[in-house]
Structure 1
Amino acid sequence: MADETRWSLPWAERSAEEARIFNPAFCGELIGHTAHEYHRTRQAALGMVTTFLVLPLTLHTPTREALPLRANKVFAGWVAEHAALLAELPERARRLRPISREALLFAVRHRLLTLEGGGLLPGTNPLPRGARLAVGTDEVKAARNAARLLGRWFAWQSTQTAILQGMGVAP
């Protein structure tokens, strides 16, 4: 409950670092990259529950750096190799749930994404595939690349349930 209260603070009252990392535009962009790549690869909507894995996987540096370089990496094998790292994922996902919700609302409101049948599809105002900011950091670039990879990697998995179970997260 303390996390809910913390994340409900007005943006002006949050630390500058938190405001930069967890702002809804950037986090919505990361979820948008994942949903777009998922849709491009599978021609289906990214499951809503799965979107709550995007931020804990892309914003946490050790986890992001452990992600495979290509989407054709066997999911179960990667999960087995990184079990210790993934042990923390359910708690990170729980703590970032309010941020993920705010990012989803932002992305849907600005038509980056659209809700359809319990999942997310590219909206009427999607991100250009090669869009880049004039100023960015290596950390931001790495998070964006990881989000795109997750979209492709998740698209190759049999079901949303298989992804969640593999990552140790219960819906």
Structure 2
Amino acid sequence: MAASRWSLSWRDRPPEEAALLNPAFCGELIARATKDYERIRAAPFPLPLAFVVLPLLLHPPTKDALPGRANTTFATWSADNEALLAELPERTLRLRPISREALLFLTQHRALTVTADGLKTGAAPMKLSAKTSSSTPDADDIRRAAGLIGRWFANQGAPVQILQTMGVTP
């Protein structure tokens, strides 16, 4: 995907892309991961991990392969899902502009704060327990999986180890 594609205004993007990749929805996913990570670890969510949230969640086969529990050993899951993780570095690069846009949206709306240690819930956090009337079962599954990712990462080792296991360079 060319860089110019991401410079298009939202009304000029394909409707499916605009619906799935809009900064509010993608930001909500990162905010959910951040909130659950903070709750478990009592520490900020490492910024590099924010860039793998969307590639893990927005690729249906990868999202469907995520563990059912946050205490699943990351190394074992990674070994069992090597084929899916082989594509993750490329997806991470392709979605980097979307992740950045979502993070900018979150910080502009004070939902998240970027600190030297990572992401923290901001002064005006998103209301993450609210369920929208226009949600779909797929969107609800993605939202639940975002919280799982936050809890799962919180139960693992250092962020650099998580990223290296997934083949993503920090």
Amino acid across the alignment from 2:127 = P
Q: 1:22 to 1:129 in 2, by over 3 A?
A: closer
Match of 2:154 in 1: 155
> In the aligned structure 2, how far is the partner of 1:109 from the partner of 1:129?
17
Q: What is the CA deviation profile of residues 115-141 of structure 1, one whole-angstrom value per residue up to 9, with x for unaligned ones?
A: 111410011111334221122111111
The alignment's TM-score, normalised by the length of structure 1, stands at 0.96
> In the aligned structure 2, how far is the partner of 1:123 from the partner of 1:115?
9
Match of 1:81 in 2: 80
> In the aligned structure 1, how far is the partner of 2:156 from the partner of 2:129?
25
Amino acid across the alignment from 2:136 = T
Give unmatched runs, 5+ long, in structure 1: none
> In the aligned structure 2, how far is the partner of 1:37 from the partner of 1:74?
17
Match of 2:60 in 1: 61
> In the aligned structure 2, how far is the partner of 1:82 from the partner of 1:35?
24
Shift of 1:3: 2.8
The root-mean-square deviation of aligned C-alpha atoms, in Å, is 1.0
Q: What is the CA deviation profile of residues 35-78 of structure 1, one whole-angstrom value per residue up to 9, with x for unaligned ones?
A: 11100110111111110000000111000000001101011000
Give unmatched runs, 5+ long, in structure 2: none
Amino acid across the alignment from 1:154 = F
Match of 1:111 in 2: 110
Amino acid across the alignment from 2:24 = A
Question: Does the aligned pair in 1 maintain the 2:85–2:166 contact within 8 Å?
Answer: yes
Which stretch of structure 1 is more off in the superposition, 112-121 or 57-66? Answer: 112-121
> In the aligned structure 2, how far is the partner of 1:113 from the partner of 1:145?
19
Runs of 4+ in 1 over 6 A off after TM superposition: none
The alignment's TM-score, normalised by the length of structure 2, stands at 0.97
Q: What is the CA deviation profile of residues 65-97 of structure 1, one whole-angstrom value per residue up to 9, with x for unaligned ones?
A: 000011010110000000011100000000000
1:4 aligns with 2:3: yes
Question: Does the aligned pair in 1 maintain the 2:113–2:122 contact within 8 Å?
Answer: yes
Percent identity at matched positions?
52
